Structure 1
Amino acid sequence: MEDFSPSDLKAILHSKRANLFYLEYCRVMQKDGRVLYLTEATKENLYFNIPIANTTVILLGNGTSITQAAMRMLAQAGVLVGFCGGGATPLYMGCEIEWMTPQNEYRPTEYLQGWMGFWFDDEKRLDAAKQFQQARIAFLKQVWQKDRDLKSEGFNFDDKAIQTALDTFFTRTDKANSSQELLLTEAQLTKVLYKYAANATDSEDFKRQHKSSKKVDIGKANDFLNHGNYLAYGLGACTLWVLGIPHSFAVLHGKTRKGGCVFDVADLIKDALVLPWAFICAKENATEQEFRQQILQAFTDHKALDYMFDQVKQVTLQEFSEEQIAAIENDQQGDAL
């Protein structure tokens, strides 16, 4: 196989890529210039192609292995790889969000420089965290007002309970003087959203639990929330890697998690998409695969990855001049060509 430049597989921008894979009980390998995964059937082995040029993230679950040649091609295509447990949770790297990120010394530097320009200032970092929280609600409003399927399941953004909770959320967010106050405000809103979703799907006995085990059945809604959140973390990690921003430089979650910035970015879409569909699919007794297909389709339909890129870039470049932003956009267009 002939070697190729990483740019050969980056014709599709990461923000426009459609695929996020979770694989289990298979072997990922390179064959004839393609990345395939091999499964064992009763009478023969089956090969399936992975369209790496149109893929953002691959999660490798139980019973998987990957060859060095396959990792080289995935790295050249800019695909993030993570090892995880069954059902895409948890990610294995202790208790932190870590990814096997492709090595590319030619990623953009201006976004990291912009991020560092405000990150060391406590007040500016808090302002950035507030912007992310505002953007999170804006996406929730955008999705819940537009999505007919969610409306038919009883998820109404204009519901009095939601609006009352948001009034409190906005007031406390504006007055917050620390990231801990923002985290507490976030937790209170999420609790209201859980209750609202549970009522809408007749799951009044729901109680949020993050860790499942063979001894404890935490219910499908909890399992689907965990599963969907890790898929969102994959998109968040991809966004930060493409823009060259290290996962440790969080604006909100950084004091408790090394990969806290991934949580910050993933939170932009979790409440709007993962939360309602986890409850809906649990009510319908869907399988993990059916839930995964539904949530990935929702990510695509509502352009979740695009939204992540737009919001991170907006926060990063907010102190840049119009001339600097124009220069950055010109460089990006040249790279795309």
Structure 2
Amino acid sequence: MSTRARRDLGTPTLAMLPRIADSLSFLYLETVRIVQDDLGICAQVESPRGTERVYLPAAALSCVLLGPGTSITQPALASFARNGTSLVAVGAGGVRSYAGIMPASLTTTWLERQARAWADDEERLAVATRMYTHRYGAPEGGMNLAQLRGMEGQRVKALYRILAQKYGVKRFRRNYDPSAWDSQDPVNLALSAANSCMYGVVHAAVLALGCSPALGFVHSGTQMAFVYDIADLFKMQVTVPLAFSLHASANPEREARQALREQFRLLKLMPGIVTAIQQMLDPSAKGESVDRTSDITHLWDPQAGLLPSGVNYADTIAPGDDPWAP
């Protein structure tokens, strides 16, 4: 088989790619070199037995977490991009650096909905209120955003107290300090690790929808604001109870990642994340397909709406209206 034939067979098409809701959640790698060969993307590691290879199901992965000691080649990175897989570089000491990749053919439908809601103060408040309501139910008496934040803080403290009593953890206090990562107690360490994985998977879902991770409704001022918004919808039910259950673990980071991956599979969290993003931005769009791509580019006009691109509109200019005419 020729090199070109292998390349063509390895290039994914829209029909070949799984829906983001059906894909695997994330894969954590460390101390490996990720390369592309004729058969696909593989992780290589040197051992006394020579170079060992494990091939990665790139088309079925939502997110790849690149841990310390990991390197990746440009061809492998390009293959992940073609498959729409998000990459998350996990730095030493818990400092995370997020890198997002999205297909160029992805539709902008959800991005436009997000941008319209974010730019309108009333709509932004409505989305933020839906996010609080999704977690704690409809507020009584038309609470404002400040009151909702206060109610959230009370609920979080109450949940910490209940879980601490359940697992026999004394005097728990949430403490996240990237500069002192290894000095955290097991619960905080497990919670930090699980939350980082959750952010990576939510980031992948946000990109798969074509949304902007930076346009948040509750959070703001960071390129990950919308990711934090959506992740908060799930942390109290998923990562927080998981962290407390690992209070006696000797390796809470690793066990948190493994347990979270299993919960994503058993609880079908990826479809839930996709649905939550849709419902927060537009409750009327429940059940709408999220895996639409578009090879069609339009031109925007404030009066005429969308117009076809690739058309020369010189004949539509009335005589005397051309500002560049001699």
Q: TM-score range by the shorter chain?
A: 0.7 to 0.9
Measured after TM superposition, the shift of residue 18 of structure 1 is: 1.7
For residue 91 of structure 1, the aligned residue among 92, 96, 100 is 96
Query: Would the alpha carbon gap of residues 252 and 215 (structure 1) be closer, same or farther in structure 2, given more than 3 Å must change?
Result: closer
The answer to whether the aligner puts 1:198 opposite 2:179 as a matched pair is no
Give the alignment partner of residue 47 of structure 2, picking from 41, 44, 69. Answer: 41
Q: Does 1:54 align with 2:60?
A: yes
Q: How does 1:153-172 map to 2 (within 5 A)?
A: 170-171=139-140
Superposed displacement of residue 6, structure 1? 4.2
2: distance between equivalents of 1:334 and 1:317? 21
The equivalent residue for 1:136 is 135
Unaligned runs of 5+ in 2: 1-5, 296-326
Residues 240-299 of structure 1, C-alpha deviation per residue, up to 9 Å, x if partnerless?
111111111111001x42320000111111110110011102234454323211111112
- What's the counterpart of residue 320 of structure 2? none
- CA gap of 1:239–1:137, structure 2 versus 1, over 3 A, is farther
Whether the aligned pair in 1 keeps the contact of 2:209 and 2:291 (CA below 8 Å) is: no
Q: For residue 309 of structure 1, what is the amino acid of its counterpart?
A: V
Superposed displacement of residue 181, structure 1: 4.6
The structural deviation recorded for 1:332 is 4.0
SS of the counterpart of 1:2? helix
Q: Show CA shifts across 1:171-223 (max 9, x none).
A: 48x402x4x55444333322221222111111122221111545862111111
Letter in 2 for 1:90: V
**In structure 1, distance between residues paired with 2:261 and 2:291:** 31
Q: Is 1:175 aligned to 2:180, yes or no?
A: no
Match of residue 308 from structure 2: none
Aligned residue number for residue 219 of structure 2: 253
Kindly tell me: are residues 9 and 237 of structure 1, through their superposed partners in 2, closer, same or farther at Cα, counting changes over 3 Å? farther
Q: Does 1:236 align with 2:202?
A: yes
Q: CA deviation at 1:333?
A: 10
1:144 match: none
Classify 1:330/1:286 alpha carbon distance in 2 versus 1 (closer, same or farther; 3 Å): closer
Name the counterpart of 1:106. Answer: 105
Q: Deviations over 1:125-184 (max 9, x none)?
A: 11111212222347xxxxxxxxxxxxxxxxxxxxxxxxxxxxxx9448x402x4x55444
More helix by share: 1
Aligned to 1:115: 114
Cα distance 1:203–1:189, how it changes in 2: closer, same or farther (>3 A)? Answer: same
Letter in 1 for 2:188: N
2:307 paired residue number: none
Conserved? CA contact 1:114–1:319, under 8 Å: no
- 1:272 corresponding residue in structure 2: 237
Task: Mark the CA change 1:99 to 1:181 in structure 2 (over 3 Å): closer, same or farther.
Answer: farther
1:318 to 266, 283, 294: 283
TM-score of the aligned structures, taking structure 2 as reference length: 0.79
What amino acid is the match of 1:91? R
Given candidates 200, 211, 219, the residue that maps to 2:177 is: 211
Quick one: which amino acid aligns to residue 101 of structure 2? T
Q: Which residue of 1 aligns with 2:32?
A: 26
User: Is residue 129 of structure 2 the alignment partner of residue 125 of structure 1?
Assistant: no
The TM-score normalised by the length of structure 1 is 0.77
State percent identity of aligned pairs. 25
8 Å CA contact retained: 1:236, 1:265: yes
One-letter identity of the residue aligned with 2:99? W
Summarize the Cα distance change of 1:47–1:206 in structure 2 as closer, same or farther, 3 Å threshold: same
Q: Give the Cα separation in 1 of the matches to 2:47 and 2:135.
A: 44
Does structure 2 conserve the Cα–Cα contact (< 8 Å) formed by 1:10 and 1:78?
A: no
* Structure 2 CA distance for partners of 1:215 and 1:301, relative to 1, 3 Å: closer
Q: Unpaired runs of 5+ in structure 1?
A: 93-97, 139-168
Distance in 2 between the 1:78 and 1:100 partners? 9
**1: distance between equivalents of 2:22 and 2:135?**
20
Amino acid at match of 2:168: D
Structure (1 or 2) with the greater strand fraction: 2
Matched to 2:126, the amino acid is D
Match of 1:301 in 2: 266
| Total equivalences in the alignment | 289
Deviation at 1:309, TM superposition (A): 0.8
Q: 1:30 touches 1:67 (CA, 8 Å); kept in 2?
A: yes
Choose 1 or 2 for highest CA Rg. 2
